[in-house]
Structure 1
Amino acid sequence: MGRRGWAMGRQGGGTVRRRFTLLYATGFLASGCVLLALTYLMSGTLQTALAPEQAPGTGPGAGPGSASPEQQVRELSRQLAEVHAQQNHRLLAGSLLALAVMTGVSLLLGRVLADRVLRPLRLITAATRRISAENLHQRLAVAGPADEVKELADTVDGLLERLEASFLAQRRFVGNASHELRTPLATMRAALDVAVAKPQPAAQTLALAGRLRTELDRVDHLLDGFLVLARAEHGTLADREPVALDALTRAALSARAADLAAKALTVEDRIRERVWTRGSATLLSRMVENVLDNAIVHNEDGGWIRIATERADEEALLVVETGGAVLDQGRVDRLTRPFERLGADRTGPEGSSGLGLSIVSAIVGAHAGRLSLVARPEGGLRVEAALPTAAAGDRCAGRTR
């Protein structure tokens, strides 16, 4: 998961914590209000029951000397009721103040409780985020009582176990396919060599051998593409090291000088030095080669290619642009899928396996980068591969090798 996924996870976790806090505080506030209302109602009922009925001739205007003992008792009861009413008002005001204070305390306590409740889930999320295709053997192994959190962790562990088995099966298939398919190809090549090496071979035999050799070369190229694609998508990058992206680009460009000259292509070189990334030098070299091959094969005679490497926002960029006909962006977006082509006009004279850009996409993804394919409004295609830059210490180590 990238930085964006990590930020979304943190934001989601904060939202759940706020919900727990608000739920706890709201429940406390509601129960406090109900308790306060019941207390006030009960005190009011008690005051009404204790309040005496005022007899005739009694009241504020009646003299104290004319009051009978019964009237004096009623007057004392009335005064006692007034005292109770004042006490109830003071109790209500004090209760409201205490409720306001406890509301703030409940928010703080709710946050603490929410953190404690969500702590196991945060640990599970962090541990799951650290597990990738390179360390699928790791497990969460959450200890504790058999509750919902442990059940969730055990479910994630079971999913990781099935993923690990699937990845291992995929890698075994790639290894077996590499051995089993290359062996018959080598046998067929040897048989062709024997047939052609016979004294005075027939012209038809030579022509047939030439066509078969061409087809075998295409099958071998296709098989190599399958294996590279499988390794980039399902394999581990155990050979990570600092790699100079500009050096790989210049080497690939120099190796294709004859192909560029054959189509009279003009190359605009914007390759900057010291553009470093970290990853598999073999796969990254294949990525650069496929991008350049795509720009050469699917270009028009006498066209142009603009190649640039640069650093921007902690990313190492490889940008290759070509001219040509105006392309549909919707169809361009599908070029990262295996065997996707834009049609016969982009297959070139030697044909295309349809794996070039899908391999590029897989290699970029395996290096935690991003690939952008844009149909230029003026015509042609712009390919941008952005990879994480290597740390300063890694770059220094790469120069000393």
Structure 2
Amino acid sequence: VMAGLSLLLGRILAGRVLRPLRLITAATRRISAENLDERLAVAGPADEVKELADTVDGLLERLEASFVAQRRFVGNASHELRTPLATMRASLDVAVAKPEPSAQTVALAGRLRTELDRVDHLLDGFLLLARAQHGALGAPAPVALDELAREALAARAADLAPKGLTVDDDTRAGARTRGSRPLLSRMVENLVDNAIAHNEDGGTIRLATAHDAGGARLVVETGGPVLDQERVDRLTEPFERLGADRTGSEGSSGLGLSIVAAIVAAHGGRLVLLARPAGGLRVTVELPAAAGTEG
């Protein structure tokens, strides 16, 4: 009897001791780069458990400060670089505007403007990436993914023809999420741009939207050669490309899919990149459904 009672008391005491540790473990697992502002904030006596929780909170505070500083640096540096770029453009305009500029001057100005456009595009990517990673969504609003997809396709009709690309538009109404329309629009535009730039001549692009109780989905599929899934998994990292085996890679900023990943994460969604067995790439974006959306 005494042995059974001792065992029971031991379990009760062990449960009371371990319960705070389990709560700390569960709370720590919920915290990621997107919610580093959360703290454990364990109350109670100043014992070893509270000391552990306070240590974790201190670590989270230092990590949050580091992440914020990094994102602020990217944004500030990108803004600061606008001034010298504008000065360069003005200098080119002055040189070309002189009476009877030489053919070499005009040709050089054209090449330099092309490079300046590429730098501008890269800076835009940096700013958008910093904004998305910082969670600067603005006032959230209901957004229809099928509308964004059709708008992106319509704006890029002239880019589809030269490569002879065929578009299979399977977008349907009802796939609605809630968030920043400008950011979500850029997300869809980047996916369509990626599908056009990294496609083979005469290839296909399929866009589809769907919704259910789990949320809203957007799927973008392209044809092409069979890709390596391990390399595809790294495409959301900045400046990561598949290389020469994807047509157009050399002209890419390397930020397109990393921006997509940041926007999806900022909206509490999930991004899946899949190398299709038949060749090409399948990109799936899963986002929370807007309130009131029927499955």
TM-score (norm 2): 0.88
Q: Which residue, 116, 137, 143 being the options, matches 2:43? A: 143
Structure of greater Rg: 1
Q: Distance in 2 between matches of 1:198 and 1:355?
A: 38
User: 1:325 matched to which residue of 2?
Assistant: 225
User: 2:125 matched to which residue of 1?
Assistant: 225
Q: Distance in 1 between matches of 2:42 and 2:245?
A: 57
Q: Does the Cα contact within 8 Å between 2:216 and 2:288 map onto a contact in 1?
A: yes
Report the Cα offset of residue 310 of structure 1.
0.6
User: 1:11 matched to which residue of 2?
Assistant: none
Secondary structure at 2:226's aligned position in 1? coil
User: 1:183 matched to which residue of 2?
Assistant: 83
- Look up the equivalent residue of 2:207 and give its one-letter code: I
User: 1:288 matched to which residue of 2?
Assistant: 188
Q: Which residue, 367, 370, 394 being the options, matches 2:267? A: 367
Secondary structure at 1:252's aligned position in 2? helix
Q: What is the root-mean-square deviation in Å for CA atoms of aligned residues? A: 2.6
Q: Distance in 2 between matches of 1:113 and 1:238?
A: 48
Q: Which residue, 202, 208, 218 being the options, matches 2:108? A: 208
Q: Does the Cα contact within 8 Å between 2:175 and 2:209 map onto a contact in 1?
A: yes
Change (3 A) 1:349 1:238: closer
User: 2:202 matched to which residue of 1?
Assistant: 302
Q: Does the Cα contact within 8 Å between 1:332 and 1:374 map onto a contact in 2?
A: yes
User: 2:255 matched to which residue of 1?
Assistant: 355
Change (3 A) 1:129 1:236: farther
Q: Which residue, 98, 119, 124 being the options, matches 1:198? A: 98
Q: Which residue, 36, 54, 59 being the options, matches 1:154? A: 54
The answer to whether residue 37 in structure 2 is matched with residue 116 in structure 1 is: no
Change (3 A) 1:259 1:332: same
Q: Does the Cα contact within 8 Å between 2:276 and 2:282 map onto a contact in 1?
A: yes
Change (3 A) 1:306 1:231: same
**Paired residues for 1:7-26 under 5 Å:** none
Q: Distance in 2 between matches of 1:130 and 1:243?
A: 27
Change (3 A) 1:368 1:212: same
Q: Does the Cα contact within 8 Å between 2:224 and 2:279 map onto a contact in 1?
A: yes
Identify the structure with the greater helix proportion: 1
Render the CA deviation track for 1:258-307: whole Å, top value 9, x for unaligned.
11122221111100102111222222111111111111011122221111
Q: Does the Cα contact within 8 Å between 2:75 and 2:130 map onto a contact in 1?
A: no
User: 2:163 matched to which residue of 1?
Assistant: 263
Q: Distance in 2 between matches of 1:189 and 1:224?
A: 17
Q: Distance in 2 between matches of 1:329 and 1:128?
A: 31
Render the CA deviation track for 1:47-67: whole Å, top value 9, x for unaligned.
xxxxxxxxxxxxxxxxxxxxx
Change (3 A) 1:380 1:178: same
Report the Cα offset of residue 137 of structure 1.
4.5
Q: Does the Cα contact within 8 Å between 1:170 and 1:234 map onto a contact in 2?
A: no
Report the Cα offset of residue 213 of structure 1.
0.3
Report the Cα offset of residue 136 of structure 1.
4.2
Q: Distance in 1 between matches of 2:35 and 2:285?
A: 26
- Look up the equivalent residue of 1:282 and give its one-letter code: P
Report the Cα offset of residue 255 of structure 1.
0.6
Pick 1 or 2: higher relative contact order, CA cutoff 8 A, min separation 6. Answer: 2
Q: Distance in 1 between matches of 2:257 and 2:290?
A: 24
Change (3 A) 1:172 1:327: closer
Q: Distance in 2 between matches of 1:130 and 1:302?
A: 46
Secondary structure at 2:233's aligned position in 1? helix
Report the Cα offset of residue 128 of structure 1.
4.7
TM-score (norm 1): 0.66
Q: Does the Cα contact within 8 Å between 1:341 and 1:347 map onto a contact in 2?
A: no
Change (3 A) 1:251 1:189: same
Change (3 A) 1:349 1:263: farther
The answer to whether residue 240 in structure 2 is matched with residue 340 in structure 1 is: yes
User: 2:172 matched to which residue of 1?
Assistant: 272
**Paired residues for 1:80-99 under 5 Å:** none
- Look up the equivalent residue of 1:174 and give its one-letter code: V
Report the Cα offset of residue 112 of structure 1.
4.7
Change (3 A) 1:164 1:273: same
Report the Cα offset of residue 256 of structure 1.
0.6
How many residues align structurally?
A: 294
Q: Which residue, 354, 378, 389 being the options, matches 2:289? A: 389
Secondary structure at 1:365's aligned position in 2? helix
Aligned residues: percent identity? 77
User: 1:252 matched to which residue of 2?
Assistant: 152
Report the Cα offset of residue 313 of structure 1.
4.8
